[in-house]
Structure 1
């Protein structure tokens, strides 16, 4: 993936994450403000409704108007505590039918603030928010207006006002703090978005890099046998009168490379299916002892012909649940490697036993030791240790990668270790019950 495409993709991830965070913060802020506003005025609105329906409070205010005594107190505490309004923030205004304030004396100094107030009759018995100008200032109230069924002392309407300037200021302060916090955390989210976009791109870039390496390595491996086959066939055209026997060498060479190509394409197909998660296991119970005894026979014969010692330590007597064909392929890969990288006189040992809940398989050989740096990469595709495991062995560097995939599909583990004083151990642990 080129740098320009990588930057573009990362920028898209960043903008997507930043936009998502911004939308979340805006939605959260809107919900918090709506809940706060509804709860902030809830108690005030309930108090106004209760007092407006309290006939004794209205009657007392009309009595004060009638007697001309704004400080007149009731003879008994007949007004319920929950219906009493705070006289510093609450006012009861008595209106005439013509829209004139009648209890100016009771309002006192507040009348100067409320003198521009007008009677509205279109929202009776409902809470409304009103604003009254007082010079350069504005006063904010929650209000409810009620029409008296029977006018008394020329009083036709009763209006209750509750000053909400303190609540409004608190809400405004909270709103300012909330907006500042949202902006701050949104800026922090931008940094998080950049980090997330970078992390999201990492596996994509890694997969792209691996794909590029896979294509390059596969092309390289395919080029060599194809070149050999092409040269062999071209040579045959130069001697059209020769017999098959006379040209048996280039023919045999072309056939040999064709077999290698067939093996390579099979391995590539196996890996491609694994990458696409198209590999499925056919699990069934398998008896390890007869399975291994039958599998190693051809390898024992090859080892004997090459002057190598082949030992089977077959102790697993409990059936295991595995895919027989895949396990067969796994062991063929490990035993084939052991035969390739050992010399006459070396020893190959296959161990099979049940440890805890795992089927332990070990393929040991006293051949060349694998260096520590190579152990870290030996299960990667197309990897070959150039010093002792090279192209002359006839492999493509795909066998151990396929072995690793088979073990992974069985939810097991495969590892490589040193055999003292010289040699290699390939250790496989597969759960006995899948």
Structure 2
């Protein structure tokens, strides 16, 4: 799927760039062509108005005077003039070059065959532009060599073709590089979503199997009273509660990912919120023979959601309790550092291997790949904590020294 998406991205990019380049070239070419044609027409007009003295007895015709050809010549150019009578017969030529008579005759015939005042023709490998004007009782046809201008336009086409070919090759590799860079986040998000669905299905499958098994036991002993089968009912209730917690967590994460609604924040006392969670967990910590050390700076207030932040503290303390070694220590510190509020939760124990630290906040991620249920939870707690902290404009991080200490730090 992603290969096809990358190919479509490449093709679309190349098509857009090719069309843009073609449009730019056509614009440049048309501007150059029109300017060249305008200059040729201007020079032809000047040449047509300038009359060199014709040869071949043209001056012997009645009414011809030398003053008719006494005008200031234009800039030097390769050109010649053919004079004809009204029937198109050549009467005289005017040229600084000595060309064969058949050349003049051919050029004249081509020009007269095209019933236009101006035009272009190719003769003996040379491009000529001509202008036909009425002259006494015949025609005066002025020819101008435009091979150089035509060559410029031709070279412009070849240059563009070469540049376009090179540019398309370069752009192909550049587009391929950026296509890979652009597709990578999409692929990563798709893989995470796929993993998320698979993990959620796996977690739901286990309690459903337990519920189904216990229901079968109940049905197999239909004559027993409810009190006799209460054990199976409690199992079912326990798994239903687990499913409910998982469903709520999944629903929360989904709402965070796809909801555009902004959460309403209000100012609250963070110190009191942390203390209230700590008091709730304190008895459980002491029951597990774990030493609790805390230092909470009073009257620290922030703008946010009090209940959500209590959930974050609960998640961090619960994790610390689960993974602290027997007779270990849990430490919590809340303090204000300049404009920042720092909350740290540390616990002694096995710690987290370094290779797992970058993924510890991923959904359903567990260091124990066997997904043993003796530690409880689904691997969503830290993902939820990170999401809530980010919603509050903060960041959460973790540092761990194996077999010594693990510390989670929240900075707001």
TM range (shorter): 0.7 to 0.9
State the distance in 2 between where 1:231 and 1:388 align: 22
The 1:363–1:49 alpha-carbon spacing in structure 2 relative to 1, beyond 3 Å, is farther
State the distance in 2 between where 1:207 and 1:46 align: 65
TM-fit CA distance, 1:281: 2.5
RMSD: 3.6
State the distance in 2 between where 1:45 and 1:317 align: 89
Contact kept, 8 Å, 2:79 with 2:95, in 1: the verdict is: no
Confirm or deny that 1:414 pairs with 2:396.
yes
Confirm or deny that 1:385 pairs with 2:367.
yes
TM-fit CA distance, 1:140: 1.8
TM-fit CA distance, 1:397: 0.6
The 1:167–1:229 alpha-carbon spacing in structure 2 relative to 1, beyond 3 Å, is same
Match of 1:44 among 36, 40, 44: 40
Aligned 1:173-322 pairs, distance under 5 A: 173-278=155-260, 280-315=262-297, 317=299, 319-322=301-304
State the distance in 2 between where 1:51 and 1:357 align: 84
Instruction: Name the counterpart of 1:26.
Output: 22
TM-fit CA distance, 1:201: 4.1
Q: For 1:316-359, what per-residue CA distance to the aligned partner results, in whole angstroms no more than 9, with x for missing partners? A: 75542333343232222112212222255433222223334433
Match of 2:12 among 16, 32, 36: 16
The 1:6–1:291 alpha-carbon spacing in structure 2 relative to 1, beyond 3 Å, is closer
State the distance in 2 between where 1:38 and 1:284 align: 69
Confirm or deny that 1:86 pairs with 2:80.
no
Instruction: Name the counterpart of 1:397.
Output: 379
Instruction: Name the counterpart of 2:332.
Output: 350
The 1:160–1:312 alpha-carbon spacing in structure 2 relative to 1, beyond 3 Å, is farther
Instruction: Name the counterpart of 1:162.
Output: 144
Match of 2:98 among 109, 112, 116: 109
Match of 1:139 among 123, 126, 136: 126
The 1:353–1:419 alpha-carbon spacing in structure 2 relative to 1, beyond 3 Å, is farther
The 1:253–1:279 alpha-carbon spacing in structure 2 relative to 1, beyond 3 Å, is farther
TM-fit CA distance, 1:416: 0.7
The 1:172–1:187 alpha-carbon spacing in structure 2 relative to 1, beyond 3 Å, is same
Contact kept, 8 Å, 2:352 with 2:402, in 1: the verdict is: no
Contact kept, 8 Å, 1:141 with 1:165, in 2: the verdict is: yes
The 1:187–1:316 alpha-carbon spacing in structure 2 relative to 1, beyond 3 Å, is farther
The 1:405–1:95 alpha-carbon spacing in structure 2 relative to 1, beyond 3 Å, is farther
Contact kept, 8 Å, 1:48 with 1:144, in 2: the verdict is: yes
The 1:419–1:314 alpha-carbon spacing in structure 2 relative to 1, beyond 3 Å, is farther
Moved more, 260-269 or 377-386: 377-386
Confirm or deny that 1:99 pairs with 2:88.
yes
Contact kept, 8 Å, 1:334 with 1:363, in 2: the verdict is: yes
DSSP-derived class of the 1:350 partner? strand
The 1:262–1:106 alpha-carbon spacing in structure 2 relative to 1, beyond 3 Å, is closer
TM-fit CA distance, 1:392: 0.8
Compute the TM-score of the two structures, normalised by the length of structure 2: 0.82
State the distance in 1 between where 2:53 and 2:345 align: 103
State the distance in 1 between where 2:382 and 2:364 align: 9
Compute the TM-score of the two structures, normalised by the length of structure 1: 0.79
DSSP-derived class of the 2:404 partner? coil
Confirm or deny that 1:373 pairs with 2:355.
yes
Could you tell me which runs of 5 or more consecutive residues in structure 2 were left unpaired when the two chains were aligned: none
Contact kept, 8 Å, 1:29 with 1:178, in 2: the verdict is: yes
TM-fit CA distance, 1:407: 2.6
Contact kept, 8 Å, 2:353 with 2:402, in 1: the verdict is: no
